[in-house]
């Protein structure tokens, strides 16, 4: 885990697939407006579990008990009407993007391997 400031160049790398979409500029303004906490979690089904805890992308539709459902409320309609980014407060990589995003956000020496408690107790 680390706290970093994102500039426009890095934002374009992170959101490369979305640069031409109408929501990109407000999203870039949002991600570059303050520090970001970046972290890598690993474990059995880590990506799907983190995405479940995060909630759906549009906070207004996110279930209570999820990060977006409890700590954000904005709808796409409201954000579009104001010309701003949806403040969904968290990003969670999907299965296809996780490796690419880890490589983008972290240097090799910032990642550490270790035996988890679960692995310790399930080894034969």
Bridge partners, residue 35, by sequence: 5
**Structure tokens belonging to residue 99:** 């490796």
Average pLDDT over residues 107-114: 92
Q: Quick one: pLDDT at residue 78?
A: 94
Residue 13 belongs to a domain: yes
Q: Quick one: pLDDT at residue 119?
A: 80
Residue 113 belongs to a domain: no
Give the count of domains, the chain.
1
Q: Which helix H or strand E contains 120, and what residues bound it?
A: helix 117-122
Question: Where residue 71 sits, what CATH number does that domain have?
Answer: 3.30.70.141
pTM across the whole model: 0.84
Q: Quick one: pLDDT at residue 113?
A: 84
Distances (CA, A) of 26 to 22, 46, 76: 8, 29, 12
Question: Would you please indicate which residues are annotated as catalytic (active-site) residues?
Answer: 91
Q: Quick one: pLDDT at residue 124?
A: 63
Q: Which residue segment(s) compose the domain that 14 sits in?
A: 2-107
Mean confidence (pLDDT) of the chain: 93
């Amino acid at each position: 885990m680390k706290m970093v400031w994102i500039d426009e160049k890095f934002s374009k790398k992170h959101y490369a697939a979305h640069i031409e979409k109408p929501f990109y500029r407000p999203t870039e303004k949002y991600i570059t407006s303050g520090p970001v906490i970046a972290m890598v979690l690993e474990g059995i089904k880590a990506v799907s579990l983190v995405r479940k805890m995060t909630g759906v992308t549009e906070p207004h539709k996110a279930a209570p008990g999820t990060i977006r459902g409890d700590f954000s409320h904005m709808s796409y309609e409201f954000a579009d009407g104001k010309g701003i980014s949806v403040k969904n407060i968290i990003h969670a990589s999907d299965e296809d993007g996780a490796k690419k995003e880890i490589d983008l956000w972290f240097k090799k020496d910032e990642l550490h391997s270790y035996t988890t408690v679960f692995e310790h107790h399930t080894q034969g």
